[in-house]
Amino acid sequence: MSIEIFSPLPGTFYRKPAPDQPVYKESGDAVAKGDVIGLVEVMKTFYEVKSELDGHIDVFLVENEDPVQAGQPLAKLKG
């Protein structure tokens, strides 16, 4: 089973909490419901993007600092 995690808002997607920090999750990492996988920044406000299911990150569909649209798939999970 594969499920996508979507951007809640248009903005810029960040895989790290700060430029000098490691990414939240890598492809292949386990995730639990509620785990943060990235941030979407809109006008200097950061919104956490969380997994809604337990599983593993299959692949990220966008890169760090890519512009994203609301509803755009950000990552695929394998359950």
pLDDT digits (tens, 9 = 90+) for 11-44: 999 999 999 999 999 999 999 999 999 999 999 9
Write a three-state SS string for the chain. Answer: CEEEEECCCCEEEECCCCCCCCCCCCCCCEECCCCEEEEEEECCEEEEEECCCCEEEEEECCCCCCEECCCCEEEEEEC
- Mean pLDDT value of segment 47-54: 96
Q: What is the pTM for the complete model shown?
A: 0.92
Give the whole-number percent of the chain exceeding pLDDT 70: 99
Rounded to an integer, what distance in angstroms lies between the CA atom of residue 3 and that of residue 39?
19
C-beta of residue 36 within 8 angstroms of C-beta of residue 24 = yes
CATH topology of domain 2-78: OB fold (Dihydrolipoamide Acetyltransferase, E2P) (2.40.50)
